[in-house]
Structure 1
Amino acid sequence: MAKQPKHILVIRLSAMGDVAMTVPVLKAFTQQYPEVKITLLTRAFFAPFFRDINNVSFFSIDLKNKHKGVLGLFKLSKELKKLQIDAVADLHNVLRTKILKVFFFGIKFMQINKGRAEKKALVSGQDFKQLETTHERYAAVFKKLGFPIDLSNPTFPDVVELSSSVLAKTGEKNKKWIGIAPFATYKSKMYPLDAMQVVIEGLSKEHTVFLFGGKADKEALQSLAVNAHVINLAGQLSLNEELDIISNLDLMLSMDSGNAHIAAMLGKKVVTIWGVTHPFAGFSPFNQPENYALLADRKQFPLIPTSIYGNTFPEEYEEAAKSISPQKVIDTINTLI
């Protein structure tokens, strides 16, 4: 019988939401198999996601310079082998990791099954059903390495005490705090901004609303900061500080995008708005009840999901999410908090 691995390399290079989805899986793994060491290979930017997980070492990949191209990946494999890794869990399964697999010849190397055929059947309308979630697909890779993971009793980090510099931006908490992340990679996954403005106005009457986005979103988000109870945080925080604030939220409202997964990994309630994509594809945020997902009307837009990532859709579907009324969004959130 083969020896159980003692040191597993876990690979997930991008994107933000996909990396965030590894967090609850790795947390469960380290709690259930504390004797096994994990080294995580991903981009340096994502290191703060793993700050609350014991027994995980972080190894950053430099795809633009040091680890660029096939030769760079060969150098990377040599660096990683020095760590005495005896198994690899590839949670990405792309060309780069396939090349790394060749360089790790002789070491047990398991890769995620992305379920491409089932996803194709889902978006073509042949088979409209719930597929395995990304978290389950990640866990299945560890099971193939001999480590089944139970994801049913998750634990989450404690609420972080905010620093004085962060409190200078947020103010003291004297109302419920709601985070809103209105942007997504594709417009088809977004709630139209005029409808989102109605939601923000409604929620800010009773709660403090924080707007989340990247530096490039700062100006666009400013137009949604409709009053003093709406605070635009875009481009003002480090990732660690952003995580600290999300830790203190009562709820996050997000599209089918990275912020939903970040809030979920911290154990927050997450209400998601879905346009041309659908939770059946397996990208729902972790540990969220079904009714926390607000879906575009499939009677009106029967081809949903038009794609897995929201990158292809008929022209008239671009604002499908608008079929969810602002009042429904407001009422859902107020009921949950």
Structure 2
Amino acid sequence: MGDVALMTPALIAIAAKYSNAQLTIVTRGNFSPFFYNIPNVNVLGINLKKYKGFFGVIKLYREIIKLGPFHAVVDLHGSVRSRMIAFFFRWQGIPTSKIIKGRREKLQQTRRFNKKINPLPHTVDRYLNVFKKVGYDAPIRKGPWLNVDGESKMFAKDYFKSIGLEKKSGQWFGFAPFAGHALKEWPFPKSKKLTEILLEEFPDCHVFLFGSKDEGKQLENLKAGSSRINLVQGGNLGIRGELGIMERLDLMIGMDSSNVHIAALLKKPVIGLYGTTHPMSGFGPFAQEDSGVLQVDLACRPCSIYGNTKCWRGDFACMEMIDPFDVVRRIRFLQNVNTLW
């Protein structure tokens, strides 16, 4: 989901420079709120379960081509399915280009010995390079890069009303303690400690915990009955609801996961806790790669691009060494340099 959301700065740049170009985005249907209000952008929202296997890809290609004619096709995913679809278009004589993910350079970063930790292009820059290959070159524009639609705002309004926070008061902090892979997550006791410290250090704050239905019990554990801690469960609110809520926050704290990336695209100050992964791999919070990252320098980092690996040291030091008070200090730093709150 984070990779899809990161398409928006590139699409906004292209749409702004090439106002006569019509962009058709093919993605999962539930991701369509990310592309709200981008000029000349249409979204073909699909359910991938309907397009399984080789014949499913052919079926999807036939549905896409009906929306043409197309002058170029860009593959920002680089999956087997997207490469096949691009091949069919190329067979029809339509120029295509695909993302270069830099797998060799990333392997050099993540191998256990003789690492080469050089900053790689951000995912957004890689997306822009794909457009450039078919003749569409454009500079990044100022954010925010996600627009929140009226439905999202209504979801958020109803949510805040349901928890008795119709009018904003104090500081509102989001905290997303989970990630797609366990090795990208802070140890749970540290998350627990952070919620307690936030309430102590910021007496006027409200904390909003983001997670899925499956993480409900752990979220309730973090809430511990506090009236100043509220749950935001995506299964109940959906992406639209979460976008509406994030738009009202002063800060988002989380792992290297979609919540932090989405908040950064909303131009909210973020604190992303990076351990197994590394922002130099091109996945830092967009436009906040320095101030928005909390990490410790260890020779073994990074050991993975996506977090789907095992800790070579066996002690998970990259995350264990990040203290909850480190997060508090970063919040105070951001408050001093940021005029948003």
Alignment of 1:60-139 (within 5 A): 60-65=45-50, 67-83=51-67, 84-104=69-89, 105=91, 106-124=93-111, 125-139=114-128
Amino acid at match of 2:188: L
Say yes or no: does 1:275 pair with 2:275.
yes
Please, which of 123, 136, 140 is the counterpart of residue 147 of structure 1? 136
Q: Which one of the candidate residues 193, 213, 224 is aligned to 2:222?
A: 224
Task: Work out whether residues 285 and 293 of structure 2, in 8 Å CA contact, stay in contact via their aligned partners in 1.
Answer: no
Q: CA separation in 1, counterparts of 2:79 and 2:212?
A: 26
Does 2:208 correspond to 1:210?
Answer: yes
Is the Cα contact below 8 Å between 1:62 and 1:68 reproduced in 2?
Answer: no
**Match for 1:238: what amino acid?**
G
Say which SS state the counterpart of residue 147 (structure 1) adopts: coil
Identity of aligned residues (%): 37
Partner of 2:333: 335
* Equivalent residue number for residue 306 of structure 2: 309
**Contact 1:191/1:319 (<8 A) preserved:** no
Cα distance between partner residues in 2 of 1:203 and 1:131: 34
Moved more, 118-127 or 274-283: 118-127
Determine the structure 1 residue equivalent to 2:285: 285
Helix, strand or coil: the match of 1:231?
Answer: strand
* Cα distance in 1, alignment partners of residues 243 and 107 from structure 2: 34
Which shows bigger deviation, 38-47 or 151-160?
Answer: 151-160
Contact 2:210–2:232 under 8 Å retained in 1: yes
Letter in 2 for 1:189: K
Structure 2: distance between partners of 1:37 and 1:152: 19
Task: Give 3-state SS (helix, strand or coil) of 1:223's partner.
Answer: helix
Q: CA deviation at 1:200?
A: 1.3
Structure 2 equivalent of residue 4 of structure 1? none
- Contact 1:198/1:326, CA 8 A, preserved across alignment: yes
How far the C-alpha of 1:155 sits from its partner, in A, is 4.3
TM-score (norm 2): 0.88
Residues 51-92 of structure 1: per-residue CA shift (max 9 Å, x gap):
132211011233212x22111211221221122122111001
Unaligned runs of 5+ in 2: 336-341
Offset, 1:244: 0.4
Q: Quote the Cα distance in structure 1 between the aligned partners of 2:207 and 2:143.
A: 27
Counterpart pick for 1:189 among 163, 184, 188: 184
Q: In the alignment, does 2:38 pair up with 1:39?
A: no
The equivalent residue for 2:36 is 51
Contact map agreement 2:207 2:228 (CA 8 A) in 1: yes
Once residues 157 and 309 of structure 1 are traced to their aligned partners in structure 2, the CA distance between those partners, rounded to angstroms, is 24
Aligned to 1:233: 232
What displacement does 1:159 show? Answer: 7.4
Letter matched to residue 101 of structure 1: A
Question: For the residues of structure 2 that align with 1:187 and 1:146, how far apart are their CA atoms?
Answer: 41
Deviation at 1:135, TM superposition (A): 0.8
The change in CA–CA distance for 1:289 and 1:68 in structure 2 (over 3 A counts) is: closer
| Separation (CA, whole Å) in 2 of partners of 1:231 and 1:256 | 22
Structure 2 residue identity aligned to 1:304 = R
Q: Secondary structure at the match of 1:211?
A: strand
1:213-250 CA distance string (max 9 Å, x none)? 11211121111113211101124313211100101111
- Partners of 1:197 and 1:289 in 2: how far apart? 26
Partner of 2:222: helix, strand, or coil? Answer: coil
Aligned partner letter, 1:167: F
Aligned-pair distance for 1:119? 0.5
Match of 1:167 among 160, 182, 197: 160
Residue by residue, what CA displacement relative to the aligned partner does 1:12-33 show, whole Å, maximum 9, x if unpaired?
xxxx111111112112221222
Q: CA deviation at 1:297?
A: 3.9
Give structure 1 stretches of 5+ with no counterpart.
Answer: 1-15
**Aligned equivalents of 1:37, 1:159: Cα separation in 2:** 21
Kindly indicate whether the alpha-carbon contact (under 8 Å) linking 1:44 and 1:61 is maintained by their aligned counterparts in 2.
Answer: yes
Q: How many residues are treated as equivalent by the alignment?
A: 318
Residues 277 and 306 in structure 2, CA contact (< 8 A), matched pair in contact too: yes
2: distance between equivalents of 1:157 and 1:303? 35
* Alpha-carbon contact 2:8-2:145 (below 8 Å) kept: no
Q: What is the distance in 1 between the residues matched to 2:319 and 2:288? A: 20
**Alignment RMSD:** 1.8
Alpha-carbon shift at residue 315 of structure 1 (Å): 5.7
Kept after mapping to 2: 8 A contact 1:159/1:248: no
